[in-house]
Amino acid sequence: MKLHFTDEQNMMRKMVQDFAKTEIEPVIEKMEQGEFPRAILDKMGQLGLMGIPIPEEYGGAGMDFTSYIIAIHELSKVSATVGVILSVHTSVGTNPILYYGNEQQKQHYVPKLASGEYLGAFCLTEPGSGSDAASLKTRAVLKGNHYVLNGSKVFITNGGEADVYIVFASTSPAAGSKGISAFIVEKGTKGFIIGKDEHKMGLSGSRTVQITLEDCLVPAENLLGEEGHGFKIALGNLDVGRIGIAAQSLGIAEAALEKSVEYAAGRHQFCKPISAQQGIGFKLADMATSVEASKLLLYQAASLRQKGIPCGKEASMAKLFASRTAMDVSTEAIQVFGGYGYTKEYPVERYFRDAKICEIYEGTSEIQRMVISKYLTS
């Protein structure tokens, strides 16, 4: 199977590669020190990258889904931090409003998100509910023309920096997953308290915060979809989000592979390049094969999504395989670089630290296997 990309998609790839090289590469070190790449996001907004698959009538670039996935793939090859910020902003920060919002909500929020004026985030996970997302405890009670939200959320990517948050809370705890509702909450809303920014192993320039909802007053018109439809909104958007994380994983793996091939060709031991030593040559061959397989799974899921064909199984397979590949290939890259790979002089240790989270967020690898096996057996 040969992947085929349209001229428009090839142009997107080239544009993002150039942007990543000239604009992102020079600020990697600052992001590694913890700086959030606000200026980069502003430039991405000007280039239309903050709303790639969003229809033009809602202020987006109106491009296809594969172009969006190409952008995350290429951005993540240089910076997985920028890759995840864009993926969360688009697939779980903006899309829920585009797909489930009423016309007024869409007109009000989507153009601002698609232009990059607003940044989006997604608040599902809680201290006691990660993989078992339906067991969330945050409550929303309708009082007059406001919902009053109480609870806490953790590991919120883009939290604190984002302007708009899709927040999940139970309006009817007795109904379990069918009692969960989704709300659009703006930063600055009374009782919406941004807490601690996690000190993470990788993705150092991205924000991952705790959020407390303390009698948080959300206007009733900010209910997204109907009461009780929140769980389907969450999972439906995560299906798409997982393709984005697969693209991020592939970017990391491909970068680790390319750096390894280059290094192994230039590093001589026992009078020849280490790439000519079978131990390293075979390693590179395995790394390249996994990267290629990830690419096929990723772009297959993306093309199904683009055609509107249900792709929950393929999205989970792509995320499962590509995130494992990112971890394996970045681990092997450090081995190829030897002692140098363990230092911050080379980027492979950063790829290794950034790769691990891809096996955890937007559904752990164990959850992806649950989803895939359910498709196979039901």
The first and second tokens of residue 336, run together, are 């190829």
Contact flag: residue 100 with ligand CAA (CB under 6 A): no
Residue 369: CB minimum distance to ligand CAA, A: 10
Cβ neighbours of residue 244 closer than 8 Å, sequence gap 6 or more: 68, 69, 72, 86, 87, 88, 90, 91, 362
Residue 311: CB minimum distance to ligand CAA, A: 10
Q: Specify the stretch interacting with ligand CAA by CB under 6 A; choose among 42-50, 62-70, 120-128, 332-340.
A: 120-128
Of 314, 349, 359, 362, the catalytic one is 362
The first and second tokens of residue 53, run together, are 């698959």
Closer CB to ligand CAA, 157 or 189, in the complex: 157
Out of 11, 134, 217, 261, point to the residue binding ligand CAA (CB under 6 A). 134
Contact flag: residue 157 with ligand CAA (CB under 6 A): yes
Taking CB under 6 A as the rule, which mask of x and - marks residues 288-317 in contact with ligand CAA? ------------------------x-----
Instruction: State the Cα–Cα distance between residues 250 and 358, nearest whole angstrom.
Output: 10
Site for ligand CAA in 337-366 (CB under 6 A): 361-363
Contact flag: residue 114 with ligand CAA (CB under 6 A): no
Q: What DSSP string runs through 175-187?
A: GGGGGEEEEEEET
Contact flag: residue 236 with ligand CAA (CB under 6 A): yes
Contact flag: residue 47 with ligand CAA (CB under 6 A): no
Residue 228 vs residues 93, 148, 273, 282, 362: alpha-carbon distances, Å = 19, 16, 61, 53, 21
Contact flag: residue 51 with ligand CAA (CB under 6 A): no
Contact flag: residue 96 with ligand CAA (CB under 6 A): no
Phi, psi for 311 (deg, rounded to 5): -140, 30
Residue 177: CB minimum distance to ligand CAA, A: 5
Out of 69, 72, 110, 133, point to the residue binding ligand CAA (CB under 6 A). 133
Handedness of CA 250, 255, 256, 261 (dihedral sign): positive
The first and second tokens of residue 156, run together, are 């919120």
Closer CB to ligand CAA, 41 or 133, in the complex: 133
Contact flag: residue 370 with ligand CAA (CB under 6 A): yes
Contact flag: residue 201 with ligand CAA (CB under 6 A): no
Instruction: State the Cα–Cα distance between residues 304 and 7, nearest whole angstrom.
Output: 19
Residue 221: CB minimum distance to ligand CAA, A: 24
Type of residue at 333: A
Contact flag: residue 78 with ligand CAA (CB under 6 A): no
Distance between the two ends of the chain, CA-based, in angstroms? Answer: 29
Residue 165: CB minimum distance to ligand CAA, A: 12
Q: Specify the stretch interacting with ligand CAA by CB under 6 A; choose among 21-29, 125-133, 252-260, 334-342.
A: 125-133
Closer CB to ligand CAA, 194 or 238, in the complex: 238
The first and second tokens of residue 213, run together, are 């909802």
Out of 118, 168, 231, 299, point to the residue binding ligand CAA (CB under 6 A). 231
Closest CA to 326 of 260, 254, 262: 254
Residue 48: CB minimum distance to ligand CAA, A: 23
| Residue indicated by tokens 């590669």 | 17
Out of 49, 70, 203, 371, point to the residue binding ligand CAA (CB under 6 A). 371
Closest CA to 64 of 282, 243, 319, 288: 243
362 is catalytic: yes
Count CA atoms within 13 Å of residue 38 on its CB side: 9
Contact flag: residue 202 with ligand CAA (CB under 6 A): no
Residue 212: CB minimum distance to ligand CAA, A: 17
Closest CA to 69 of 256, 257, 236, 303: 303
| Residue indicated by tokens 């993540």 | 76
Instruction: State the Cα–Cα distance between residues 378 and 368, nearest whole angstrom.
Output: 15
Query: E strand or H helix at 157, and its extent?
Result: strand 146-157
Which parts of this chain interact with ligand CAA (CB under 6 A)?
A: 88, 92, 122, 124-125, 131, 133-134, 155, 157, 177, 231-232, 235-236, 238-239, 312, 361-363, 367, 370-371
Residues marked active site are found at: 362
